[in-house]
Structure 1
Amino acid sequence: MTINDVFRQYGPAYLKTYGARMLPSHKKLIHDLAQCRTPAMGTIHWHCEHCKKDHFSYAPCKNRSCPSCQSDNSVKWLIKQFDLKLPVEYFMATFTLPDALRKIARSQQKLFYNLLFRSAALAILKLAEDEKYMGGQIGIIGILHTWARNLTFHPHVHFLIPGLAVSDDQKKIIFSKQHFLVYAPNLSKIFRAIFVKGLCQSGITGIDYDRLFSTDWVVDVRSVGSGQKAIEYTAKYVFKTAISNQNMLSCKNGMVTFRYQYYHSKKMKIIRLPVFEFMRRFLQHVLPKGFQKIRYYGILHPKRRLLFNIIRLLLRAKFNPPEKYLHYESGCRCPVCGNKMIFIERLRAPPMKVYWS
């Protein structure tokens, strides 16, 4: 049982019931999930030079919200991040949108997600410049998540931060204190102030601003050691969808059963939902078209690459990914001998009736 199977079976009925109120991106995803790796997507012709055999597989939909099409992307991104890794202590900062704003954020996702990114990034960059903390310009990588593990709507941004700053005159490298970057309660207040100011400027009505200022906004900052584990942890979720096929258990009699790891106890829990509710929860995590869920700020921004490379040279940083990633190669492998195959062409009509996927 896969998520694609659920949408393949119940997608038409869901569209018939809710299609008039659905976003185009949600309709497209239902279409893509239903047709992914089926004859409707066409056929890919592969050739294995090792065993001299030809193979044919149904083409993937390549929708970024399809759980069957993202396996290679996370490893590619992970290797790229190891190339950016510095020999310093790393920190993870997490900024969570308060519950009072989640309902309206769900209906205006692009505005709220952009504001969440911008406010959180400005808050941490600003506080880090304070002489009490780093006293310079830091670099951060932000990744947006919109779900809790039970598929409920829970927008938050993770920032991966090397414990290093560059002075304003770019003549001095400053290192963080051991296991400490900034004070989270102060960061929370700055984040809240910047976000609420942006919300006021957006012109959105019906928001209780007094309640927002009387609520503590959840911000967590913690040391994650050398950064390798944090980079690997982050990579798992960069291209992950709200739920993976591995956690799907069954879809019977209009009910979907899946498992998830409970955050506090780390134990697996099983949840059963009506199929339309499961589909609704899954679709609410589809990002707006063209939305960039990974963003770089400060000295890690692509436009600051010259400065970053100078820092790498001064610190004698080396590109040294873990052994298990050294020989990674993307692409399809031969189902007979396991060697990497060569792409030949994409066909509209299948040349034979035997397929591998």
Structure 2
Amino acid sequence: MLQARWGEVTEVLARREGAVEVRVAFASAPELDGPALLYPTLTGPAAPGDRVLVNTTAVQLRLGTGGLHFVMAVERAEALTPAADGHIVKLRYTPLQHTVRTVEEGPDAERLDACPGLAGMPVVTAELHSQVAAIAAGVHAAAPHARVVYLMPDTAALPLPLSRLVPRLKDAGLIARTITCGQAFGGDLEAVSLPSALVAAKVVAGADVVIIAQGPGNAGTGTRLGFSGIAQADWLHSAAALEGTPIAAARISFADPRPRHHGLSHHTLTLLERFTLCPVTLALPQLPPEQADWIGSQIAPLLPKHRIETYDGEPALSLLSRLGLPVTTMGRTVEQERAFFLAAAAAGVAAAARLG
């Protein structure tokens, strides 16, 4: 059940493209005072002294959202006017449904329809948002002038501006543009479907490489099939159907305490063995012998169907360090989860190897 209450903005803490972090005080529940995230395209702007309606569900349930509330509305006398002239509605049939202008209804619609496919363009798919930085760095470490586009589908967070990572990657030149598709919103470009977004990445955004990964907030249940990243199989199918080159980034960990994620995660194994119906490339990193042997013992079921390639991810991690881009996954650093980030980087290097 949704939990919400009225509060007052006391301070603006930070701004980034598409999002503002504010501090909110609750007169009726001061124990909930704290930071809240506001999306101006949904609520309009807010300033200290404004009365706001805040969704407090995540904080009250202690969910893994970084300790943030979310502003649902700002009390104001004037009406909000749409910034976009499109007619496609995102967050449909919710109180926050809003219109966006998508690539399918813009001036590039005819070019999208005329595009025969991706012509072999590498498409790297990854389960976790925390893999995106290392994948992009892997591409640039091997092909410094490559143009990388990040495509965010709607299987985890729906607002791209929730991500603190993506603006940093854009500022560093590792990502050129972003596209959000389905019910996800807030990218440089909006698209109705993932296949259409892939074509737009090539035709409109000029991508050399596309990264598809969930936004923050991957959902998992501990069951074999109950994880949102299983959609990675669908992304690989779309890339193959459009005659791109589908590359799967492996989820690997030797620091995660959960046995099902030790070595090559059961998520990667399940989606590639059971749900990916086309041949794809699985990029693996160069690892110490003991870790490499462990992974080697896990991939036997994948060998009849998929191509396994191994790449050195270390230059990508060095690039992230030089750029001053610290990355974490589930609170663990590169030093603590080196195999995880090396695996993501290897997928980026695999994509760069296809650029010729």
Relative to the length of structure 1, the TM-score reads 0.29
Query: Larger % of helix: which?
Result: 1
